[in-house]
Structure 1
Amino acid sequence: MVDVARSEFILGGQKSGKSRRAEMLARQWLGARATHRAVLIATGQAWDEEMRERIARHQRDRAVRVPGMATVEEPLALAEALRQHSAPHTLVVVDCLTLWLTNLLMPMDGVSVEAAEPARALCGAIEQAAGPVVLVGNEIGLGVIPMGREVRAFVDALGGLNQAVAAACERVTLMAAGLPLRLKGHHA
């Protein structure tokens, strides 16, 4: 049974099972019909050796878990990439919104972008998507208040982004210890 919503936002802490759930949904989608396609829009950038290794490991693992899912790298123009790859027969996975927001607000080249308009554009693209969309993001607001002004501003911005994306999506799932908790949408 394919349990794919028109749009699903999967959020949780680091290593909570967010990406695995998105991959499982993509695998179900691909297995449901021969005409189905799946595309991953990856937002991470390899700015150092550790991140290059992490991205390569994710690519290898994903190729085993979801063979046939194409990957597109887009660190900034996320709404445009979603519009470009969305189609009735194509499930689009965006992984992850937290890295996307980091790319906008704390870029390695030092030229930050105001995130409000890109976030509005992303929510519009989610609502207008021709096919199913699965978005992955981190919930980082459950801990102590960060000490630095910039970090507090980032946590606030991510909380706002998460709320906007949750409002735009049909289903919202919180992951903890590999287990999904449905926050919004119909239960399977």
Structure 2
Amino acid sequence: MTAPSPAPTAHRTLITGGARSGKSVVAEHLLSGVPQVACLLPGPIPNAEADPEWAARIAIHQARRPAHWLTVETSDLATGIAEARGAVLIDCLGTWVTAVMDELQGWDAPESQWRNAFDARLAGFIRQWTLAAGPLVAVTNEVGMGLVPDYKSGRLFRDLLGTVNQAVAAASDDVLLVVAGRTLRL
């Protein structure tokens, strides 16, 4: 799969789009000529026995990336960016929101029990996103363009990721929307 993408001119780039739109391919292409890249992966660690579909999905991403890229599985994006040498690829912010909410046990808890901690994690990430030498590329899912989710957790995820996407976009030099493998600069 190839996805046309713009030349890597921006210091901080957010790439958004729907599921299976080609976002990760575009992100990897933007950093393809960079000698040192840290891939921050905040999603669940792949386990072929517990979730073979997730493990297969991650294996496809890993096989596409150059072998010399460093893989860091962490939900602490602020520290991951601060400790990275060279470029940073975050893939993806949707799995980060899920990981943070899991850590905070916030899915079923009242907002008053988790909101300050979530906002602090987001603020720390944005602070490092703006301070890092870069280049930095973050992949995220575009949410809120479809139906309102039936379940509270789905609505909460959509709302939180929408907030995260807005914050990262505001702190980015470039924002790209990927639709059907095509890249649009926003």
TM range (shorter): 0.7 to 0.9
**Separation (CA, whole Å) in 2 of partners of 1:163 and 1:131:** 20
Three-state SS of the structure 2 residue aligned to 1:106 is helix
Three-state SS of the structure 2 residue aligned to 1:115 is helix
**Separation (CA, whole Å) in 2 of partners of 1:140 and 1:126:** 21
Match of 2:94 among 92, 98, 103: 98
Retained in 1: the 8 A contact 2:17–2:179?
Answer: yes
Match of 1:138 in 2: 141
Match of 2:25 among 20, 23, 35: 20
Q: Report the alpha carbon displacement of residue 67 of structure 1 after superposing the two structures with TM.
A: 4.0
Match of 2:37 in 1: 38
Match of 1:158 among 148, 158, 161: 161
Which residue identity does 2:156 align to in structure 1? Answer: A
Match of 2:81 in 1: 82
Name the Cα RMSD after superposition. 1.9
Match of 2:12 among 4, 7, 12: 7
Deviations 1:74-126 (Å, cap 9, x if unpaired)?
Answer: 1x2111111110x4xx111011010010111135xx83454211111111111
Retained in 1: the 8 A contact 2:37–2:87?
Answer: yes
TM-score normalised by structure 1 residue count: 0.82
Q: Report the alpha carbon displacement of residue 2 of structure 1 after superposing the two structures with TM.
A: 5.0
**Separation (CA, whole Å) in 1 of partners of 2:134 and 2:148:** 38
Match of 2:58 among 55, 60, 64: 55
TM-score normalised by structure 2 residue count: 0.83
Q: Percent identity?
A: 35
Which residue identity does 1:97 align to in structure 2? Answer: L
Which residue identity does 1:123 align to in structure 2? Answer: I
Task: List alignment gaps of at least 5 residues for structure 2.
Answer: 1-5, 107-113
Retained in 1: the 8 A contact 2:89–2:136?
Answer: yes
Which residue identity does 2:99 align to in structure 1? Answer: N
Displaced runs of 4 or more, over 6 A: none
Which residue identity does 2:12 align to in structure 1? Answer: S
